[in-house]
């Protein structure tokens, strides 16, 4: 387990290597201030002030082993979450401090960049930490908590499906609950079929030991507002009988990315002792193929009582979320948040980095978007367009799970979910990708937390600690 406290510490005047921050506008003046020796070193490294670039320079009047790091960012006057992440990955192990000001938001990327999943490395390299001394010591604990939550999302998503089935997701919820005093209950088997029939229908084809379940964590004071957090927990998605091609199945270990976000957000809520009554719901399934698999053309009853015609067994995530949303709505929550790797249409519309936000409450949407801007965790609000609701019409049942034609796929999926949310309950749905297709500074290729810090900022703003 990564010790994130090894990456950030209060500055008490210890000896440390200086980091000087520049941008394109300030690099020239900084270069003029250097000695001839240091200027020659800078020119030899051909640093032009591009954001993320790094140079090692001798310190004027110091011995040959004494040096400083020069790091270029987009705007030296406004450090962002990720602007020091590349430096944290590339600098030698040791202790550092900024020469001017404090790291602020950049503390997050500095620490996050030093975490990686080593479970599957036979000889995992032990990396000594890069410790950043911070003048704003009060900010460190909250930053470490957020880094830990993001690392949890990455690790859960990166873990192969063979080691991250429904029972393993249950174990992840149990560990978080145990650490913070939450209570976990799990519904399986015949009770699941009766009470959460869509969750059961999606997961019933899975092998023994990977049976579907509804995982529920409760925490907090009943006198506080109830916040329900729901995560799609499809631990592997073959597509069911509407089987995916190999290319479509390659990343389907990440189809529980919504659950990973929900578990990590619950961890943040409990660790900060937010003034809420927390309800975490994770419908955990594997969408497999067997003689008992859900079939195209089947009609499944939902917990809410609506009957759903299955036009595509690969549109399974909305089914399990529907039952979980119905359960959450019965409890009378102050708000509901759900996270899901729900549609490819969301990626076509907005790409891998920008999750769409669907929300039935303008105030809630504004708070989440503001949280995303503050935390460098952007989202883009998409419409719950009533005109497309007719696409969900079924000739035989109350609703279909997969409208024909493919138009507005992310919107119609969100409209499907809306059918299971009480009209008066503020609700937000984030169709996250939960994946970095290419490495970026501080963010390796693989599992990614997209939308987590934005929603956490919203919850902090609304409910305090």
In this prediction, residues 374-397 reach a mean pLDDT of: 97
When pLDDT is averaged across residues 29-40 and rounded to a whole number, the result is 93
Q: Is the pLDDT of residue 63 over 70?
A: no
> What does the alpha-carbon distance between residue 88 and residue 109 come to, in Å, rounded to a whole number?
8
pLDDT of res. 460: 98
Position 62 scores a pLDDT of: 52
> For residues 187 and 210, what is the distance between their CA atoms, to the nearest angstrom?
14
pLDDT at 136: 94
Q: What is the mean pLDDT of residues 72-79?
A: 96
pLDDT single digits (tens) 351-372:
999 999 999 999 999 999 999 9
Whole-prediction pTM? 0.97
pLDDT band, very low/low/confident/very high, at 54 (cuts 50, 70, 90):
very high
Q: What is the dihedral of CA 436, 439, 445, 451, to 10 degrees?
A: -30
**Above pLDDT 90, what percent of the chain?**
94
- For residue range 147-163, what is the model confidence (pLDDT) as tens digits? 999 999 999 999 999 99
Answer positive or negative: Cα dihedral of 341, 345, 346, 352: positive
Q: DSSP code of 398?
A: S
Buried residues in 327-345 as b, exposed as e (16+ CB within 10 A): bbbeeebebbbbbbbbbeb
How confident is residue 59, by pLDDT bands cut at 50, 70 and 90?
confident
Q: What is the pLDDT of residues 172-204, one digit of tens each?
A: 999 999 999 999 999 999 999 999 999 999 999
For helices 317-330 and 409-418, what crossing angle results, to 10°? 30
Cα–Cα distance, 306 to 355 (Å, whole number): 29
Q: What's the mean per-residue pLDDT of the chain? A: 96
The mean pLDDT of 306-327, rounded to a whole number, is 98
pLDDT band at 128; cut points 50, 70, 90: confident
Whole-angstrom Cα distance, residue 258 to residue 321? 10
Is the dihedral angle over the CA atoms 293, 338, 452, 402 positive or is it negative? positive
246-292 tens-digit pLDDT: 999 999 999 999 999 999 999 999 999 999 999 999 999 999 999 99
Compute φ and ψ for 431, nearest 5 degrees: -90, 80
Q: Domains for the chain: give ranges and CATH numbers.
A: 4-135 (3.40.220.10), 145-463 (3.40.630.10)
Q: Are strands 226-231 and 335-340 parallel, antiparallel or unpaired?
A: parallel
Residues 6+ apart with CB under 8 A from 265: 149, 229, 337, 339, 452, 455, 456, 459
pLDDT of residue 190: 97
What pLDDT was estimated at residue 259? 99
Across the range 51-73, mean pLDDT stands at: 84
Cα of first residue to Cα of last residue in the chain, in angstroms, is 26
Q: Which residues are catalytic?
A: 244, 318
DSSP state of 386: G
- Strand, coil or helix: what is 124? coil
Q: Is the pLDDT of residue 64 over 50?
A: no
Share above pLDDT 70 across residues of the chain, in percent, rounded to a whole number: 98
């Amino acid at each position: 387990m990564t010790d994130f406290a090894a990456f950030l510490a209060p500055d008490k005047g210890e000896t440390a290597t200086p980091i000087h921050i520049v941008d394109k506008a300030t690099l020239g003046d900084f270069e003029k201030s250097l000695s001839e020796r240091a200027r020659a070193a800078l020119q030899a490294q051909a640093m032009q002030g591009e954001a993320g670039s790094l140079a090692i320079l001798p310190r004027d009047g110091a011995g040959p082993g004494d040096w400083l790091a020069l790091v270029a960012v987009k705007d030296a006057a406004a450090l962002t979450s990720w602007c020091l992440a590349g430096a944290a990955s590339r600098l030698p192990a040791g202790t550092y401090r900024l020469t001017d000001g404090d790291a602020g938001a950049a503390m997050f990327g500095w620490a996050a960049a030093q975490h990686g999943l080593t479970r599957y490395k036979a000889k995992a390299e032990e990396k000594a930490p890069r410790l950043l001394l911070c003048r704003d010591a009060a900010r460190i604990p909250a930053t470490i908590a957020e880094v830990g939550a993001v690392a949890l999302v990455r690790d859960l998503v990166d873990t192969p499906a063979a080691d991250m089935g429904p029972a393993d997701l249950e174990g992840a919820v149990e560990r978080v609950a145990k650490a913070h005093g939450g209570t976990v209950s799990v519904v399986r088997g015949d009770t699941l079929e009766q009470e959460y029939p869509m969750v059961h229908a999606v997961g019933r084809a899975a092998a023994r030991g990977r049976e579907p379940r509804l995982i529920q964590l409760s925490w907090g004071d009943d006198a506080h507002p109830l916040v329900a957090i729901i995560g799609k927990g499809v631990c592997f998605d073959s597509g069911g009988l509407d089987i995916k091609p190999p290319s479509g199945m390659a990343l389907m270990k990440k189809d529980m990315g919504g659950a990973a976000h929900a578990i990590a957000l619950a961890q943040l809520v409990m660790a900060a002792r937010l003034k809420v009554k927390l309800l975490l719901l994770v419908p955990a399934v594997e969408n497999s193929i067997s003689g008992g698999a859900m079939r195209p053309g089947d009609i499944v009853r939902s917990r809410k009582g609506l009957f759903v015609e299955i036009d595509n067994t690969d549109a399974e995530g909305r089914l399990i979320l529907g039952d979980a949303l119905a359960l959450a709505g019965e409890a009378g929550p102050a708000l509901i948040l759900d996270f899901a790797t729900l549609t490819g249409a969301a990626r076509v519309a907005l790409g891998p980095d920008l999750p769409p936000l669907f929300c039935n409450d303008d105030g809630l949407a504004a708070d989440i978007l503001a949280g995303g801007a503050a935390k460098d965790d952007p989202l883009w609000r998409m419409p719950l367009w009533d005109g497309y609701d007719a696409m969900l019409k079924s000739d035989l049942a109350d609703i279909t799970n997969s409208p024909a034609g493919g138009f507005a796929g992310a919107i119609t999926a969100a409209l499907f979910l809306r059918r299971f949310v009480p009209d008066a309950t503020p609700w937000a749905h984030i169709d996250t990708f939960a994946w970095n297709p290419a490495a970026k500074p501080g963010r390796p290729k693989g599992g990614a937390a997209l939308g987590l810090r934005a929603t956490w900022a919203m919850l902090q703003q609304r409910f305090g600690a």
